Amino acid sequence: MGVSIQVDKLNAWFGKTQALYDIDMKVEANHATAVIGPSGCGKSTFVRCLNRMHETIPEARATGRVRIGELDVYNGTSATQIRRRIGMVFQKPNPFPTMSIYDNVAAGLKLNGFRDRHRLDEIVERSLQLSALWDEVKDFLKKKSGASLSGGQQQRLCIARALAVQPQVLLMDEPCSALDPISTGKIEELIFQLKESFTIVIVTHNMQQASRVAEFTGFFLLGKLIEFDKTEKIFTNPSDKRTEDYITGRFG
């Protein structure tokens, strides 16, 4: 089951440049929350702070309080522990190039010391089914490399890989920006189904996509969360002038 995310006073820096200013946000469990805003507004940095991927960049740091369910992300838990609970799908599909499709999906468990082959087979099949890729790859799971798939398939493979470690939250950083409309459609359908079992945060440049898949939307501008509300409200009746300007295409 998904869990809710509570963000309080989150600040993030790259070296001396501040990228996020005092972000407060409450992400509902088992819903999809979209994060929109112009390039460079801190959307990606925001989601990368949720699973502490932000700090893997040299000289990057973050302060504040993030709670994922009962877990305090920046206090008393290790980054690896957090990342096992919070799956992440990146902008560009990034399967492990030297691994087969099967090994790609099993990687998260195998590398963390999971050895039960029988269970592994089950988990790989279920994850690929969840990500709607099973029927397309089941005949050559261990024969073909993950890199041999098409871009859209690779992205679904990456989703399966993230799901295999059984996270409670799935972060998606512009998962469709490198994909064609058909693959995008498939992944959006997927997001709909995944909401039943996971909490989803999706960064997107595509406002139609945000309105299609997300119940809640946050609008970021210059590192600040300008407005956060039900998606419908944001797109039909935003309370802030800047949100309105952005969604009507007046800037950004």
Partner 1 sequence: MANLETTADISLPQLSLYRRGTNVLVTLMAASAVILVLLPLGAVFGYLIYKGIGSINLAFLTQTPKPVGEAGGGMANAIAGSALILLIASCIGVPVGIGGGIYLAEYGRNRFGNLIRFTADVLNGVPSIIVGIVAYGLVVLTQGHFSALAGGVALAIMMVPTITRATEEMLLLVPNTVREAALGLGVSRWRTTLSITLRTATSGIITGVMLAFARAAGETAPLLFTAFGNQYWNWNTSQPTAALPLQIFTYAISPFDEWHRQAWAGALILIVLIVLAVSAVRVAASRGMLKGAN
Q: Which residues would be at the binding site for partner 1 (CB under 8 A)? A: 51, 53, 56, 58, 80-85, 87-88, 90, 92, 94-100, 103, 107-108, 111-112, 142-143, 145, 158, 161-162, 165
Give me the helices (H) in the chain, please: 43-50, 79-85, 101-111, 117-130, 134-137, 151-164, 181-194, 207-213, 231-236, 241-247
* CB closer to partner 1, 90 vs 198: 90
CA contacts within 13 A on the Cβ side of 184: 16
* CB closer to partner 1, 16 vs 142: 142
User: Which whole-number Å values give the CA distances from 143 to 28, 53, 116, in the listed order?
Assistant: 40, 32, 21
* CB closer to partner 1, 63 vs 81: 81
* CB closer to partner 1, 176 vs 247: 176
Taking the C-alpha atoms of residue 222 and residue 242, their distance in angstroms, rounded to an integer, is 11
Instruction: Quote the least distance from Cβ 22 to partner 1, whole Å.
Output: 26
* CB closer to partner 1, 1 vs 111: 111
Residue at token pair 């944001």: 234
Instruction: Quote the least distance from Cβ 55 to partner 1, whole Å.
Output: 10
Order across the sheet with 224-230: list the strands: 86-89, 169-173, 199-203, 32-36, 216-221, 224-230
Instruction: Quote the least distance from Cβ 130 to partner 1, whole Å.
Output: 16
Instruction: Quote the least distance from Cβ 138 to partner 1, whole Å.
Output: 16
Residue at token pair 């504040």: 64
Instruction: Quote the least distance from Cβ 95 to partner 1, whole Å.
Output: 8
